[in-house]
Structure 1
Amino acid sequence: MENTQRTSESMNFVHQDEIWKAHVKVEKASAKCWPNKWGFLTDCYKQYEMESMKMKSIKENSNPDLNVRPSTPLEKNIKVSPSPPVPQTSQAVIGWRSAHPHLQLENFGTVHHGRRSFLKELDWPLHACI
């Protein structure tokens, strides 16, 4: 982005003022013609606002006990087994939990996303893009 206040070059204030006047004129003209081009958006917004007010009044009139779900205790979904004792050496601390299969993060097995080749999918020879 170019700096508009350069100290080495002189600035033409009259020219800058004319540019500013042109911008203001365009803004005023676009503000006048906006309702003709985009005024339908305000009608849609008013309809949406009326519908949301109706929905809000229906929700307030309904039974408030039905809207609140009881919280599920964490112990039901998350089961944490006790950890084995921490190793005595500092070298064994790194990865000591992953040595035990019941403490590993991959509860459902390792991820097997094979590498796919675009050329094999199209049945092209492997040297086609070289």
Structure 2
Amino acid sequence: MADPQRTSEPINFVHQDEIWKAHVKLEKDSADAWPNKWGFLTEASKEYKMESEKLKKAVKVELPPNLASQPPTPPEKCIQVGPSPPVPQTTQGLIGWRSAHSHLQLEKPNTMQHGRRSLLKELGWPLEACC
């Protein structure tokens, strides 16, 4: 289309229409020729989908109990939220007003827990297997 910034040149609407007709004709011709050139891809895709469905039905893999997914723990069991302190009167007081109280802090010091289980012990591998 014509650039709206260039107002010195007159716009030839007939020429613009011919360009648009050529674009539309090219799109239509390409759409008509596509099945002859690339139509085999649709059949191959359908065959692949049918074959993969057959394989999924034939092969049922059950995970061992140690790899099966566990139901999620409800957040209420881990997180306890207490009442908030009163909102400060000034905007300067808003900065860190909840973290100033020790019972409202999100991170508690020295509460990091390390796992008691070892992958090597679960698999029955010797400790030297991991170097």
Asked if these proteins are the same fold (TM beyond 0.5), I'd say no
TM-score w.r.t. the length of structure 2 is 0.43
TM-score w.r.t. the length of structure 1 is 0.43
